[in-house]
Amino acid sequence: MKQQQNNETIQDVESEDELINRNKTEELDQHERARSGNPIELYRHIYTKFDPSFVNLLGVQYFNQGSKILVALAAQKLFKDTYGLEPSYL
């Protein structure tokens, strides 16, 4: 009876170890897919790792900052080409 309980306990531990190893393997596969260069997989990985509302707000902020930089560069080009000012005078 005791031998049977020990065997069941060993099998339970082995099955838990297999489950942990499988989860680690699946997690590594997700990381490899995210780093594969495919932007869709990267976004999918980010959405599963972080809260989607946070990711959306972060994307809006990046868009906002990019627009701000484009306006600043356009203004610098205008002053340089139209008024002949050097960037150090801006």
Q: Which of 9, 28, 8 lies closest to 20, judged by CA?
A: 28
Q: Which of 46, 52, 51, 17 lies closest to 34, judged by CA?
A: 46
Note if the pTM is more than 0.85.
no
Residues 43 and 66 both lie in one domain = no
Residues 9 and 40 both lie in one domain = yes
Q: Which of 87, 63, 64, 66 lies closest to 75, judged by CA?
A: 87
Residues 44 and 1 both lie in one domain = yes
Residues 1 and 26 both lie in one domain = yes
Residues 83 and 39 both lie in one domain = no
Q: How confident is the model at residue 28 (pLDDT cuts 50, 70, 90)?
A: low
* The pLDDT of residue 77 is above 60: yes
**Model confidence pLDDT, tens digit, residues 35-62:** 777 888 888 888 888 999 999 999 999 9
Burial 1-35 (b: 16+ CB within 10 A, else e): eeeeeeeeeeeeeeeeeeeeeeeeeeeeeeeeebe
Range of the domain at 83: 51-90
